[in-house]
């Protein structure tokens, strides 16, 4: 399993198996810091409900965004 950067703020959804109502494929989601979840290969993600929930890390890909886009996404979320 690849190492995740703890500073990751956004991830892209690669699969939504069993979470079709909560996650949309190829959509970017905000990640909230959660050390305990990370230790168990989970991410705390703000999903379609607008709330944060834990999802398996392998459902997502880390995304490095241009600073201006990241700031705009953070304002919108």
Find the CATH number of the domain harbouring 46: 2.30.30
Indicate whether 76 pLDDT > 70: yes
* pLDDT tens for each residue of 12-32: 999 999 999 999 999 999 999
According to DSSP, residue 75 is labeled H
Is 56 a domain residue? yes
**Could you give the number of structural domains in the chain?**
1
Is 2 a domain residue? no
Is 4 a domain residue? no
**Residue 27 belongs to what domain range?**
10-76
Is 51 a domain residue? yes
Please, what is the average pLDDT of the chain?
88
- Residue 4: its pLDDT value, please? 62
pLDDT band for position 54 (cuts 50, 70, 90): very high
Q: What's the pTM?
A: 0.81
> What is the DSSP track for 17-61?
TT-TTT--TT-EEEEE--HHHHHTTEEEEE-TTSSEEEEEGGGEE
- Residue 13: its pLDDT value, please? 97
44 near 56, Cβ under 8 Å? no
53 near 47, Cβ under 8 Å? yes
């Amino acid at each position: 399993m690849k190492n995740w950067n703890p500073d990751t703020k956004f991830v892209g959804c690669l699969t939504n198996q069993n979470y079709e109502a909560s996650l949309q494929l190829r959509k970017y989601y905000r990640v909230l810091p959660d050390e305990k979840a990370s230790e168990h290969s989970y991410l705390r993600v703000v999903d379609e409900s607008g709330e944060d929930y834990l999802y398996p890390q392998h459902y997502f890909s880390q995304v490095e965004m241009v600073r201006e886009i990241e700031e705009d996404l953070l304002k919108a979320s």
